[in-house]
């Protein structure tokens, strides 16, 4: 029993010792965990403090970047928007001009120039407006001051030059514009007309042909070709071109010329090529569209060639009713009276023409004959001399035209162009063309022409120029 108790005590002691050991182990483990946890907390804290510092620095750098970036962006926007805002008046004026309100556009652009000063864009737009308002001289002054940088500004310069008959100034600009916009019908038409004014008919007709190939411009293009062929004396090609026009526009309406003028010139071309019957038909249509002394005079001539003298006489009488000094009608009536041996009546028809400018050698020849038939030999001799002088002048004029057409870029081509421009009262352009050839030892005709342009005196006659120039 005592032994059993000892065993139980021993077991109890062992259990007690085990329990104590377990408690001690648990306590050590808890201390270890507390110690480890404390250490981990310190590490995590340090990590959090380290990470928090970097984020703060990044935020500070971001704030500093925005502090200089925002003003920069605002400054750039201001540079872009302020001119745009200031030029709103120009945009309004441009819209008014394109809408056809040129007067309103001028008022708007003037207000802009008053508030913003004479900017180049404002002055250039004002020049374009002035061209539309028919003030080419002031428009050219502004464009020459600021230059023509855009296509609309170059067009305004060319149009102003054409309005002032400054053909040599307009030509290079028009040629450049046509290269930029080869399908622009208005530009091609203006280029063709400008070249013709300078006697460059081959180049002018080339532009007219190009114009005729544009959609919707075929009839107007062939009308232009016919006008150019007429001006350079090629009546056959003129008639061919206008025959094509009538295929496209049988009524000859909506062309560059009126129906009356078209049929008059078409009939004239047909008559000069020997087709009196077709010429009469065309001229009758011309007179019906709009009666004129010129159309009636050519109609009377067609009727004369067809052997219908009574019709031609009635037609010519009507022509001189409208225009008493119409030379063609007066000559026709005088010839009819001469056939009836009424020489005094024939002379009475022609005498009003004796001192008229532009007297024709054909009229002079009839006067020479009539004075001789009326036994006035002195007057007949006087008219013989005058008629010879008129004939020489007419031959010289034909020679001038041939030189201009065949050799427009030669010295004499330019000199004769200058004479024609001066004859059309365009003396500024004439001086510009002639000036390179005015020098010591120049041809007498050149010096006479220059003196007339300089002093405002009458021009030398075409017969004073050399006739051996080709």
> What is this structure's pTM?
0.74
From CA 228, how far away is CA 248, in angstroms rounded? Answer: 19
Contact 302, 272 (CB under 8 A): no
Q: Given this model, what pLDDT does residue 53 score?
A: 52
- Residue 367 clears pLDDT 50, i.e. is over it: yes
CA dihedral over 220, 221, 225, 231, signed as positive or negative = positive
Whether residue 315 lies inside any domain: the answer is yes
Task: Name every residue whose Cβ is closer than 8 Å to that of residue 281 and which is 6 or more positions away in sequence.
Answer: 267
Q: Given this model, what pLDDT does residue 21 score?
A: 41
Q: What is the pLDDT of residues 115-134, one digit of tens each?
A: 877 688 888 888 888 999 99
Confidence of residue 261 (pLDDT cuts 50, 70, 90): very high
Whether residue 416 lies inside any domain: the answer is yes
More confident residue, 54 or 435: 435
Q: What is the pLDDT of residues 30-46, one digit of tens each?
A: 444 444 444 444 444 44
Summary mean pLDDT of the chain:
84
The domain boundary, picked from 306, 323, 340, lies at 323
From CA 270, how far away is CA 105, in angstroms rounded? Answer: 49
Q: Given this model, what pLDDT does residue 68 score?
A: 56
Q: What is the pLDDT of residues 299-312, one digit of tens each?
A: 999 999 999 999 99
Q: What is the pLDDT of residues 190-210, one digit of tens each?
A: 999 999 988 889 999 999 999
Confidence of residue 470 (pLDDT cuts 50, 70, 90): low
Q: What is the pLDDT of residues 4-26, one digit of tens each?
A: 333 333 444 444 434 444 343 43
Q: What token pair was written down for 244?
A: 């094509």
More confident residue, 69 or 427: 427
Tally: H helices and E strands in the chain: 22, 0
Return contacts of 456-462, CB within 8 angstroms, 24+ apart. 456/427, 459/419, 459/422, 459/423, 460/419, 461/393, 461/396, 462/393, 462/396, 462/397, 462/399, 462/400, 462/419
From CA 382, how far away is CA 380, in angstroms rounded? Answer: 5
Whether residue 25 lies inside any domain: the answer is no
From CA 42, how far away is CA 371, in angstroms rounded? Answer: 142
- Residue 335 clears pLDDT 90, i.e. is over it: yes
Q: What token pair was written down for 444?
A: 């007498």
Q: In terms of C-beta density within 10 A (0-12 exposed, 13-18 middle, 19 or more buried), how is residue 392 classed?
A: middle
Q: Given this model, what pLDDT does residue 348 score?
A: 96
* Residue showing tokens 């005592």: 2
Whether residue 426 lies inside any domain: the answer is yes
User: Above pLDDT 90, what percent of the chain?
Assistant: 60
CA dihedral over 115, 116, 121, 127, signed as positive or negative = positive
Whether residue 82 lies inside any domain: the answer is no
Q: What is the pLDDT of residues 383-411, one digit of tens each?
A: 999 999 999 999 998 899 888 888 888 99
Instruction: Please give the average per-residue pLDDT across 280-287, as a whole number.
Output: 97
The domain boundary, picked from 323, 352, 379, lies at 323
Instruction: Please give the average per-residue pLDDT across 79-93, as a whole number.
Output: 57
- Residue 453 clears pLDDT 90, i.e. is over it: yes
Instruction: Please give the average per-residue pLDDT across 76-85, as a whole number.
Output: 44
Q: Quickly list DSSP for 314-347.
A: HHHHHHHHH-TT-HHHHHHHHHHHHHTT-HHHHH
CATH code assigned at 278: 1.25.40.10
Phi, psi values for residue 226, rounded to 5°: -60, -40
From CA 343, how far away is CA 340, in angstroms rounded? Answer: 8
Going by C-alpha positions, the residue among 232, 231, 216, 230 that lies closest to residue 267 is 230
Q: Given this model, what pLDDT does residue 180 score?
A: 94
Instruction: Please give the average per-residue pLDDT across 265-270, as a whole number.
Output: 97
Instruction: Please give the average per-residue pLDDT across 262-271, as a whole number.
Output: 97
Q: Given this model, what pLDDT does residue 18 score?
A: 42
Give the SS3 label for residue 165: coil
Q: Given this model, what pLDDT does residue 15 score?
A: 43
Q: Given this model, what pLDDT does residue 87 score?
A: 62
From CA 158, how far away is CA 165, in angstroms rounded? Answer: 10
Longest dimension (CA), the chain: 203
More confident residue, 97 or 225: 225
Q: What residues make up the domain containing 270?
A: 257-323
Q: What is the total count of domains within the chain?
A: 2
Going by C-alpha positions, the residue among 464, 419, 413 that lies closest to residue 443 is 464
Whether residue 216 lies inside any domain: the answer is no
Task: Name every residue whose Cβ is closer than 8 Å to that of residue 147 and which is 6 or more positions away in sequence.
Answer: 120, 124, 153
Going by C-alpha positions, the residue among 142, 157, 174, 166 that lies closest to residue 428 is 166
- Residue 346 clears pLDDT 70, i.e. is over it: yes
Buried b (16+ CB within 10 A) or exposed e, 353-383: beeeeebbbebbbbbbbbbbeeeeeebbeeb
* CA torsion, ordered 238, 244, 248, 253, to nearest 10 deg: 20
The domain boundary, picked from 303, 323, 343, lies at 323
- Residue 284 clears pLDDT 50, i.e. is over it: yes
Whether residue 268 lies inside any domain: the answer is yes
More confident residue, 9 or 366: 366
Instruction: Please give the average per-residue pLDDT across 434-453, as a whole number.
Output: 93
From CA 366, how far away is CA 399, in angstroms rounded? Answer: 25
Whether residue 440 lies inside any domain: the answer is yes
The gap between the terminal CA atoms of the chain, to the nearest Å, is: 168
Q: Given this model, what pLDDT does residue 79 score?
A: 44
Q: ∠53-54-57 over CA atoms, to 5°? A: 90
């Amino acid at each position: 029993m005592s032994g059993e108790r000892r065993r139980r005590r021993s077991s109890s002691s062992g259990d007690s010792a085990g329990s104590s050991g377990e408690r001690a182990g648990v306590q050590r483990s808890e201390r270890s965990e507390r110690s480890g946890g404390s250490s981990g907390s310190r590490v995590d804290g340090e990590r959090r403090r380290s990470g928090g510092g970097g984020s703060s620095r990044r935020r500070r750098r971001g704030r500093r970047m925005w502090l200089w970036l925002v003003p920069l962006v605002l400054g750039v926007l201001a540079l872009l928007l302020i001119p745009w805002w200031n030029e709103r008046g120009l945009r309004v004026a441009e819209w008014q001009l394109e809408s056809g309100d040129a007067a309103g556009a001028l008022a708007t652009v003037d207000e802009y120039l008053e508030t913003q000063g004479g900017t180049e864009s404002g002055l250039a737009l004002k020049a374009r407006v002035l061209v539309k308002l028919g003030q080419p001289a002031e428009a050219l002054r502004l464009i020459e001051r600021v230059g023509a940088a855009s296509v609309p500004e170059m067009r305004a310069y060319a149009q102003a030059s054409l309005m002032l008959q400054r053909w040599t100034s307009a030509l290079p600009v028009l040629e450049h514009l046509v290269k930029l916009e080869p399908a622009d019908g208005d530009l091609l038409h203006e280029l063709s007309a400008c070249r013709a004014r300078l006697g460059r008919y081959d180049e002018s007709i080339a532009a007219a042909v190009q114009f005729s190939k544009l959609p919707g411009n075929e009839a107007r293009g062939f009308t232009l070709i016919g006008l150019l062929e007429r001006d350079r004396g090629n009546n056959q090609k003129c008639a061919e071109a206008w025959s094509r026009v009538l295929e496209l526009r049988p009524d000859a309406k909506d062309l560059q010329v009126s129906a009356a003028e078209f049929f008059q010139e078409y009939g004239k071309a047909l008559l000069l090529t020997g087709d009196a019957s077709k010429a009469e038909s065309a001229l009758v249509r011309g007179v019906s569209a709009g009666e004129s002394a010129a159309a009636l005079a050519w109609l009377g001539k067609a009727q004369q060639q067809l052997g219908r003298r009574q019709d031609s006489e009635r037609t010519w009488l009507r022509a001189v009713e409208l225009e008493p000094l119409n030379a063609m009608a007066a000559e026709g009536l005088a010839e009819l009276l001469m056939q009836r041996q009424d020489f005094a009546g024939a002379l009475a028809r022609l005498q009003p023409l004796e001192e008229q400018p532009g007297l024709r050698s054909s009229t002079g020849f009839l006067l020479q004959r009539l004075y001789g038939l009326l036994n006035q030999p002195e007057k007949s001799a006087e008219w013989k001399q005058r008629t010879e002088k008129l004939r020489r002048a007419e031959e010289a004029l034909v020679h001038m035209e041939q030189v201009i057409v065949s050799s427009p870029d030669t010295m004499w081509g330019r000199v004769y162009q200058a004479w024609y421009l001066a004859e059309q009262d365009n003396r500024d352009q004439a001086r510009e063309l002639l000036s390179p050839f005015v020098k010591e030892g120049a041809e007498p005709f050149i010096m006479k022409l220059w003196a007339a342009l300089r002093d405002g005196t009458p021009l030398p006659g075409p017969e004073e120029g050399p006739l051996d120039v080709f």
